[in-house]
Amino acid sequence: MTDEEIARLATDFCDCTLPKAYWTHEAHFATALWLILKRPDIAPERDMPGMIRRYNESVGGVNSDSSGYHETITQASLHMARRVVAGQPGGVTPSAALAALMASPLGDKDWLFTYWSRDLLMAAEARRNWVAPDRTPLPA
């Protein structure tokens, strides 16, 4: 994905005009990286929960205890995205950061199950609030 494609995807997400079919695993990380690298006015850990909830509703989704926004997944993904950025040279572009992230174990949509059991991660409490991993801690 190019920097221009990432910027368009992230902007469309922020504007709630991104078609639901485009909101993929890669798109989630592309948007997170773009926000981290290009939008210093947005604090992703603070602002993305509301942004994701609003986006979900804009495409007909519901944010509930069984679908929609998931706090633990969002915060874990942002933590790992920041780790990828920190491991890149200064001035890294969103496309280079995304390529590095997708080439890592994070590129697998099931990466979270390295850290969390399925039962814990899929529990309503983990959807509502941050729940620490029960298998192994996230890297610092």
Q: Convert the pLDDT of each residue in 27-81 to its tens digit.
A: 999 999 999 999 999 999 999 999 999 999 999 999 999 999 999 999 999 999 9
Look at residue 89 in the predicted model and tell me its pLDDT. 93
- CA proximity to 127, closest of 38, 77, 66, 59: 66
Cα-Cα-Cα-Cα torsion 9, 14, 19, 21, nearest 10 degrees, comes to 70
pTM exceeds 0.75 for this model: yes
State pLDDT tens for residues 115-131.
Answer: 999 999 999 999 999 99
Provide the b/e sequence for 53-69 (b: ≥16 CB within 10 Å): eebbeeeebebeeeeeb
**Segment 90-116 mean pLDDT:** 97
Instruction: Tell me what pLDDT residue 31 has.
Output: 98
**Which residues are CB-neighbours of 106 under 8 A, at least 6 positions away?**
29, 80, 84
pLDDT bin (cut points 50, 70, 90) of residue 83 is very high
Average pLDDT over residues 100-121: 98
Domain locations in the chain?
3-128
Whole-number Å distance between alpha carbons of 59 and 112:
25
Sign of CA dihedral 96, 28, 128, 36: positive
pLDDT at 24: 97
